[in-house]
Amino acid sequence: MNPQITTPTIEFARRFSSTRRGASSARKLALGQLDAWGVPHGSERSETAALIVAELAANAVLHGHVPGHEFELRLVLGTVLRIEVTDTRAMRRPLRPEPAGDAESGRGLLLVEALTKAWGVDARPPGKTVWAEVGV
């Protein structure tokens, strides 16, 4: 019988106000948590994670906001770093990004797609979770 080898994971989760300040706080706390886990602040991995958290949190605030509700950031560190942002607006699901041409917005998910191994959207009543995975 072969024992299954598993990689231990560690998790961090916190709720934030669905405001620009909440999105900024999510990014800062994510950087601090990653540093505490041994992903040094200012490293390429840390900066990549910061960009992804910033984009997903901003999208939750701008497109997933429901008055009176917060969004949640969850980080899971194992063989990959999984970043999840959950909001309560199920009706506004992000689509696969298309090149935006001269548009002044709409490039954030192109950045997320370029920086990650995988990303997607899962239904999570009463809303959705947008997740991204990056190598560690």
Residue 3 within any structural domain of the chain: no
Residue 62 within any structural domain of the chain: yes
Total structural domains within the chain: 1
Residue 4 within any structural domain of the chain: no
Give the model confidence (pLDDT) of 72-100 as tens digits: 999 999 999 999 999 988 765 555 656 55
CB 134, CB 83: distance < 8 Å:
yes
pLDDT at 119: 93
pLDDT at 68: 78
> Domain residues for 57?
10-135
Residue 103 within any structural domain of the chain: yes
Residue 96 within any structural domain of the chain: yes
3-class secondary-structure state, position 135: strand
Is pLDDT of 53 > 60?
A: yes
Give the model confidence (pLDDT) of 1-50 as tens digits: 545 556 678 999 999 999 999 999 999 999 999 999 999 999 999 999 99
Residue 108 within any structural domain of the chain: yes
pLDDT at 109: 85
CATH number of the domain enclosing 42: 3.30.565.10
Give the model confidence (pLDDT) of 100-113 as tens digits: 555 555 678 888 99
Residue 40 within any structural domain of the chain: yes
